[in-house]
Each structure stands twice: as structure tokens, then as C-alpha cells.
Chains A and B, each alone.
Chain A
Amino acid sequence: GKKQYDREFLLDFQFMPACI
């Protein structure tokens, strides 16, 4: 399905370390 994210959702990840 379509992966659409609104800005609030995206901003929640701003300071989360990327899980590599």
C-alpha cells in the first residue's frame, strides 16, 4: 500500500538513532 507519512509522524523520528 501507499507509504504516506505526515510531518508530525516524521518529526517524531528526528532524534531517534537509526537502527543499523
Chain B
Amino acid sequence: HPLQNRWVLWFFKSDRGRAWQDNLHQVTMVDTVEDFWSHIQLASKLSPGCDYALFKDGIQPMWEDSRNQQGGRWLVSLAKQQRHCELDRLWLETLLCLIGDSFEEHSREVCGAVINIRPKGDKIAVWTSDAENQASVLRIGQVYKERLGLSMKTIIGYQAHTDTASKSNSLAKNKFVV
């Protein structure tokens, strides 16, 4: 069962002694439903300081990539206790949204998704290519929030990568919220 896009799974392990890019490794590539299931790993198996990223083939999971420079991310910040009960479910649902081409005609705006395992709180984000395309960004956010089963009162924010890159404090401003 072929997927609409070929996807690359990346692994990142932070190592202060090395340049950021050198800590990023391509794990595998999937382009069928069967491939996906035979390669995918549980997020909770990752140790703190590590990330997974699933990105369309040809797009690197970094701001500098030409398909990410003008884009941004829908960010889901998890409370510490959510790591044990919600993390794997939320990450798997995110991946199913990606490989299932679930964002209607806006799916072509989706670049990939990243999960960061961090002591101060894990984060899952869906990256899109054009932060100025309000219609697509908002529709992707609405579908994503619904697919994650987040309650109406849980607000998720969209931040442009340029804002995240230049933020002074730890919180970049939200360009959109749903």
C-alpha cells in the first residue's frame, strides 16, 4: 500500500561537543504502509535529549532547509506526567496524520513532524512550509488538534521558525492558535 509521499525517519541525539547537524542521523525511509509499521519506534523508548523527526524525502528537519525557512510549526507542549500515558499515542497519531495525507488539499504544505524528549517537558510539532498561508496553517491546526483528541480548552500555537530562531526568552510568540 503505497503512501502519497516518501518519508524519512531521522534521529537526533544531543552531544554538546559536536555541531548540531552532526548529531542528526537518517534512520530509514518509508513509502508504504507496511514499511512504516516495520520501522517505526515508540517515542517513549527515546532517552532525554533525543528527538525523532519524520520528514518528506528531500526536506531536512531543520529551519535552514529551503522548504522550512518560510514556514513554522504547530507545537504541542506536554506536561511531564503526560510522558507515560500520552506521549506514544500523540506521536503515533501525528505520524498517522502525516503518512495518511490527512490534511486534505493542505497536506502538500506539511513538511514533517518532530518529537523532542526533554526533562523539562516533551514537545511534538508539525512543521508546515509557509507561515503566511493562513488558510492552510489554520486548517492543518484544526484537523491536527481534532486528530490528537485534545479538548476544546487546550490551545495549541503556531510559531514561525524565524520567530523561534530569534526568540529572546524561551517562548516564541504564536502567529496563530486553535
Contacts and interface: CB of A to CB of B under 8 A. Distances in A.
B27 interface: no
Interface string B106-140: 01000000000000000000000000000000000
Nearest to B102: A4
Contacts of A15: 37
Contacts of A17: 38
Contacts, number: 48
Chain A residues touching B, range: 10 to 19
B13 to A, nearest CB: 26
A13 B37 contact: yes
Interface in B71-96: 93, 96
- Is chain B's binding surface mostly helix, strand, loop or mixed? helix
A10 B34 contact: no
Given A2-B4, A3-B2, A5-B1, A19 B100 contact: no
Contacts of A13: 1, 33-34, 36-37
22 contacts: A2-B4, A3-B1, A3-B4, A4-B4, A4-B102, A4-B107, A5-B1, A5-B3, A5-B33, A6-B102, A7-B93, A7-B102, A10-B33, A10-B99, A10-B100, A13-B33, A13-B36, A13-B37, A16-B37, A18-B37, A18-B38, A19-B34
Given A4-B101, A4-B107, A18-B32, 7 more contacts: A3-B2, A3-B4, A3-B101, A4-B100, A7-B147, A9-B100, A15-B37
Interface of A: 2-7, 9-11, 13-19
